[in-house]
């Protein structure tokens, strides 16, 4: 399975910095906003970048590991929240409205009856939830490939509606457990270093969650050996969620199309880790919308070489932190494309 992601050309980033340093402001006085602007310019191959409408694909799936008592919420919340997304009643719907973004929902693995047709629902259910990763593989390799392509096609569909920014979101009770297992596997870290409280579990449930991640890792190692060196999609088939793998596909679709892609919290960034292992050029298109309170999210962002645009103690998912960052990315592009240089404005430059 190959993706046609072109490496970002550094020459355009260098040209962007040349212009940024001539704009009517002290050099680098807009800090990381200028870094964002230069990266957007390199992606668009222009020193006058522009960003308009955005989109987020919220991938939804259930997790067999929820049976281990690792979440504060019951599994039936996943299909209930899908209906809430489609009705416009969730947090991501309100944030998307404020950020000029459209919400698409991908049913890649919800356990329950099929959802009624809806213009923003993408029905591509690979299987009704994953296996319990503490006891069995999450899915087969063929199913992991199908989930990846489901996300990829959903991302292309969102882009076809005119999106110039693309984010991935997630919904799936139990998915921070799968994200912790995947992150530990990809980064070679112990379970406790990357496992957080997810939806807000108590101390007993947290200890149980760490133990479940440890069991899942031990089981996967017995099948694949060194998980850092194993085939990335095979690791995802052992440990990952269908919606996590689909999120990787969504982000890869944006990168292949040459648009900035924005990761959200812990589960989606586990998908970004997978995408980066499948396609090395992908990282040049990726931005971190925020840093969540999950301890593993910090480790993921460090591994990807990303700084968070926002840090608001979010832990909801749905793509909320990613879409909140859209206006900042638009502002970064506007600064580079719209500000005057000292010469253009007739302003005296500094020493």
Report if residue 220 sits inside a domain. yes
Mean pLDDT of 50-72: 96
58: phi then psi, degrees, rounded to nearest 5: -95, 110
Whole-angstrom Cα distance, residue 125 to residue 282? 26
Helix (H, G, I), strand (E, B) or coil at 23: strand
CA nearest neighbour of 199 among 179, 220, 219: 179
Q: Is the pLDDT of residue 139 over 90?
A: yes
Q: Is the pLDDT of residue 348 over 70?
A: yes
**Structural domain harbouring 36:** 10-50+334-345
> What CATH number is given to the structural domain containing 38?
1.10.1610.10
CA dihedral defined by 73, 76, 79, 84, rounded to 10 degrees?
-60
Per-residue model confidence as pLDDT tens digits over 302-315:
999 999 999 999 99
Report if residue 3 sits inside a domain. no
Largest CA distance in the chain: 69
Kindly indicate the confidence band of residue 200, based on its pLDDT and cuts at 50, 70 and 90. Answer: confident
What angle, rounded to 10 degrees, do the helices at 141-160 and 232-239 form?
Answer: 100
Per-residue model confidence as pLDDT tens digits over 276-287:
999 999 999 999
Buried b (16+ CB within 10 A) or exposed e, 150-163: bbbbbbbbbbeeeb
CA dihedral defined by 278, 284, 288, 289, rounded to 10 degrees?
-110
> What CATH number is given to the structural domain containing 251?
3.40.50.10210
Q: Is the pLDDT of residue 109 over 90?
A: yes
Report if residue 93 sits inside a domain. yes
Kindly indicate the confidence band of residue 227, based on its pLDDT and cuts at 50, 70 and 90. Answer: very high
User: How many CB atoms neighbour CB 276 within 10 A?
Assistant: 22
30: tokens are 């807009």
- Give this prediction's pTM: 0.96
Instruction: Quote the distance between the C-alpha of residue 85 and its chain's center.
Output: 18
Domain count, the chain: 2
CB 227 within 8 A of CB 186: yes
Catalytic residues: 318
User: How many CB atoms neighbour CB 56 within 10 A?
Assistant: 30
Per-residue model confidence as pLDDT tens digits over 20-42:
999 999 999 999 999 999 999 99
Q: Where are the beta strands (DSSP E) in the chain?
A: 54-61, 101-109, 121-123, 165-171, 261-263, 286-290, 308-310
76 against 198, higher pLDDT: 76
- What mean pLDDT value characterizes the chain? 96
Q: Is the pLDDT of residue 187 over 90?
A: yes
CB 114 within 8 A of CB 123: yes
Residues 150 and 270 in one domain: yes
Q: Is the pLDDT of residue 296 over 80?
A: yes
What angle, rounded to 10 degrees, do the helices at 232-239 and 175-187 form?
Answer: 150
Residues 116 and 20 in one domain: no
Whole-angstrom Cα distance, residue 112 to residue 62? 9
* DSSP assigned state of 68: G
In percent, the amount of the chain with pLDDT more than 90 equals 96
In percent, the amount of the chain with pLDDT more than 70 equals 99
Residues 20 and 114 in one domain: no
Mean pLDDT of 199-228: 94
Q: Is the pLDDT of residue 350 over 80?
A: no
Residues 41 and 182 in one domain: no
For 140-174, the DSSP string reads -HHHHHHHHHHHHHHHHHHHHTT-SEEEEEEE-TT
Report if residue 211 sits inside a domain. yes
């Amino acid at each position: 399975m190959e993706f046609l992601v072109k490496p970002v050309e550094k020459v355009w980033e260098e040209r962007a910095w040349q212009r940024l340093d001539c704009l009517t402001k002290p050099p680098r006085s807009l800090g990381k906003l200028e870094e964002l602007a230069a990266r957007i310019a390199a992606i668009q191959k222009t020193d006058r970048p522009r960003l308009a409408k955005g989109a987020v694909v919220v991938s939804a799936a259930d997790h067999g590991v929820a049976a281990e008592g690792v979440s504060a919420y019951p599994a039936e919340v996943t299909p209930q929240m899908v209906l809430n997304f489609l009705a416009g009643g969730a947090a991501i719907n309100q944030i998307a409205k404020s950020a000029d973004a459209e919400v698409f929902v991908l049913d890649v693995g919800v356990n329950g009856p099929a959802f009624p047709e809806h213009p923003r629902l993408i029905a591509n259910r690979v299987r009704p939830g994953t296996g319990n990763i503490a006891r069995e593989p999450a899915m087969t390799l063929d199913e992991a490939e199908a989930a990846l392509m489901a996300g990829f096609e959903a991302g292309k569909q969102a882009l076809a509606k005119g999106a110039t920014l693309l984010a991935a979101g997630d919904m799936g009770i139990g998915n921070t457990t799968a994200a912790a297992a995947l992150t530990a596997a990809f980064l070679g870290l112990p379970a406790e270093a990357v496992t957080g409280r997810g939806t807000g579990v108590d101390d007993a449930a947290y200890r149980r969650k760490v133990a479940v991640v440890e069991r899942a890792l031990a089981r996967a190692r017995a099948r694949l050996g060194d998980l850092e060196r194993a085939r990335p999609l095979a690791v995802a088939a052992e440990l990952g969620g269908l919606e996590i793998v689909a999120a990787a596909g969504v982000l890869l679709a944006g990168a292949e199309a040459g648009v900035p892609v924005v990761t959200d919290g812990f589960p989606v960034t586990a998908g970004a880790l997978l995408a980066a292992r499948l396609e090395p050029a992908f990282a040049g298109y990726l931005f971190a919308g925020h840093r969540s309170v999950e301890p593993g999210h910090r480790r993921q962002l460090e591994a990807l070489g990303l700084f968070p645009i926002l840090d608001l103690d979010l832990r909801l998912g749905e793509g909320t932190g990613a879409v909140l960052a859209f206006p900042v990315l638009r502002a970064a592009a506007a600064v580079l494309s719209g500000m005057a240089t000292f010469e253009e404005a007739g302003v005296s430059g500094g020493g």
